[in-house]
Amino acid sequence: MPLSPDEPALPPLVRPTVQDAIRRDIIAGVLTPGARVTEASLAQRYDVSRVPVREALRGLESEGFIDSRPHVGSRVAAIPVHDADDLFAVREALEVSTARSAARRAAALYSGDESPEDWWRLRRQIAGLLDAGDAHVAAGDLDPLVGINDQIHIAIAELSGSATLTRLLRQLSWKIEWLYAADMQSRGKRLWPDHRVIVGAIDAGDGERAAALMAAHVRESRIGYLSRYGITRPSSDPEVAAAVRQQQGGAPDGARPGADTVGA
Amino acid sequence: MPLSPDEPALPPLVRPTVQDAIRRDIIAGVLTPGARVTEASLAQRYDVSRVPVREALRGLESEGFIDSRPHVGSRVAAIPVHDADDLFAVREALEVSTARSAARRAAALYSGDESPEDWWRLRRQIAGLLDAGDAHVAAGDLDPLVGINDQIHIAIAELSGSATLTRLLRQLSWKIEWLYAADMQSRGKRLWPDHRVIVGAIDAGDGERAAALMAAHVRESRIGYLSRYGITRPSSDPEVAAAVRQQQGGAPDGARPGADTVGA
DNA sequence: AGAAGGACGATTGCATACAATCACTCTGGT
DNA sequence: ACCAGAGTGATTGTATGCAATCGTCCTTCT
């Protein structure tokens, strides 16, 4: 397991903006879909002026968390639950690409073709996340696993070196996290051990294996969500749809095929 | 061909913002990658205050067109040419999903399950775009085809009813348009007739056929780009890579395997 | 001569103030 | 009773002004 250059791995630079704060509150359910959010109220809430709030709203609008009409106002957007299957399908393609590219980059790295700065920092960060997740699994508290899970996937995307893919994946992750809403802390238990295997394939520089593993991993996550939240329409992927039916037959407790859009 | 409810199809609401103007100039190459863009200069350039410029820059930053560092300034981002293949791969998944969902929605529409307002407006818009494209092809001026092409794909995505997918596709389209940069007006000639066939499958409510047609369509576009701009690494998709090699062997004129990132 | 330290200029970040626009309500008429 | 229209309040859109921060150049000490 190659992890040689060791230095104080400090985060590159991060500014906790108002946009991040609002987004977090939306995903956490503090700001419910359909709720009217005026610039003044948000400004008071986060103790800043209206200007940074406006900038945050524009950003969140282009991310799909806010619906805004000129001269009228802004509302928290509806949770895209009926897009869920499509979202997972796209996420599958995205993550498969990032995993493959990351592994290829690792191979190029070991052969000495390139040696970027960020690589080791990210690789070290992933190692830390894996260990932290293992500790939580061992301790039995699955709550933090959701966040750690997302961070690992994002870090793998960054490892691929594609800023565009990373950005798209980050947006998708936020949406999926929003879908999962609150109660979903148990999903990671089954899927957690996959991560270490995927990272292993990346380290080995085996692009196709990394891609295949990531595909299976994301797919299982997709099946888990759909079987739990019983979406109105069956999955577009026949295999996924079949797996969902099977899994729902075994545990039809949490399925709620009625609601299509969460509003307020 | 169902196209019954006819009304004045006015666009819902669009505000030509500073953000759109700047993005257009970046894609068009007026603002070159690496160029420093200060808020003051942009404010003067577009004849507004710094406040709208700031909002635009934040939005463009989250779209990946601007790299911004706090208290330092902003630069036009680098064109992600080495991501090209991955971008197309994700676009493939995205557009296949939208085409399938659009067709399913059409089927549900005809069976009377739902009847949304926007559907006919979008469907009419697509019809107009198809006719306009045909006219341009007949007249021989292929310049506007690029824009019309993008509009059709976006409209199909909107037809799918998924705002999230539409937004992601729009971001991807901008990036790919940026990749194509200036010289690429001839690409649409071969691919143009596909659109009418895809729309036909959607109208017929045949989701799988629409998905398959869209997959082939986007894939050919991907092969066309890669064979022309000869990216450093071969495509991750073996079939695509083989097709690129074959096409490059026939016309190795425009290939330039050197440059990996366009900067200034 | 080279390097460390400080001051200046430029630019961003933010707050306040004002103008433009829209939704709502109340009034008047048919 | 219902509809049309003007007025009003609330909210967004924009401009200006000031404070905070960073990069750079010059000075100064070793």
Residue-level pLDDT at B183: 52
Chain C bases under 7 Å from protein CB?
Answer: 11-17, 20-23
Q: Give me the pLDDT at residue B189, please.
A: 63
Which of A182-191, A203-212, B44-53, B113-122 shows the lowest per-residue confidence on average (mean pLDDT)? A182-191
Provide the pLDDT for residue B84.
82
pLDDT at B14 over 70: no
Q: How far apart are CA A161 and CA B86, in angstroms?
A: 11
The Cα–Cα gap between B214 and A3 comes to 43
Give, in order, the Cα–Cα distances in Å from B230 to each of A164, B255, B259.
Answer: 20, 5, 9
CATH class of this structure's domain A18-76: mainly alpha
Q: How far apart are CA A125 and CA B207, in angstroms?
A: 42
pLDDT score of A53:
95
Answer whether residue B207 shows pLDDT above 90. Answer: no
Compute the distance between CA of residue B92 and CA of residue B109 in angstroms, rounded to an integer.
Answer: 25
In the predicted structure, residue B34 carries a pLDDT above the cut 80:
yes
Q: Are B209 and B110 in contact (CB under 8 A)?
A: no
CA atoms of B77 and B84, how far apart (whole Å): 15
pLDDT of residue A6: 34
Integer Cα distance of A137 and B220 in angstroms: 46
pLDDT band at A15 (very low <50, low <70, confident <90, very high): low
The answer to whether B231 and B81 are in contact (CB under 8 A) is: yes
Task: Residue A165: list chain B partners with CB under 8 A.
Answer: 83, 86-87, 90
Q: Convert A164-196 to b/e letters by CB count within 10 Å (16 or more is b).
A: bbbbbbbbbbbbbbbbbeeebeebbeeebebbe
Q: Contacts of residue A167 in chain B, CB cutoff 8 Å?
A: 62, 64
| Model pLDDT, residue B160 | 87
Amino acid identity, residue B121? R
How far apart CA B58 and CA B26 sit, in angstroms, is: 15
What would the pLDDT profile of A99-123 be if each residue is shown by its tens digit? 888 888 888 877 766 667 678 888 8
For chain B, what are the domain ranges?
18-76, 81-250
Strand order in the sheet with A73-76: A36-37, A73-76, A66-69
* Most confident residue range from A220-229, B29-38, B190-199: B29-38
The pLDDT confidence band at residue A184, using thresholds 50, 70 and 90, is: low
Over range B7-29, report the average pLDDT.
68
Q: A81-250: which CATH topology?
A: Four Helix Bundle (Hemerythrin (Met), subunit A) (1.20.120)
Percent above pLDDT 90 for chain B: 23
Look up residue B185 and give its amino acid: Q
**Least CB–CB distance from B87: residue in A54, A86, A164:** A164
pLDDT number for residue B254: 35
The pLDDT score that the predictor gives to residue B37 is 95
CA dist., res. A78 & res. A174, Å (int): 14
**Closest-CA residue to A169 (of A67, A63, A262, A80):** A63
Of B24, B25, B22, B16, whose CA–CA distance to B56 is shortest? Answer: B22
Q: Which residue has the higher pLDDT, B214 or B253?
A: B214
Write out the residues of chain A at the interface with chain B, using a CB-CB cutoff of 8 A.
13, 15, 19, 51, 54-55, 58-59, 62-64, 69-70, 77, 80, 82-83, 86-87, 89-90, 92-94, 97-98, 100-101, 104, 160-165, 167-168, 171-172, 175, 207, 211, 233, 236
Give the residue among A179, A199, A178, A180 at the shortest CA–CA distance from A188: A180
Using CA atoms, how far apart are residues B131 and A113, in angstroms rounded to an integer?
50
Q: How far is the CA of A73 from the C1' of D8 (A)?
A: 19
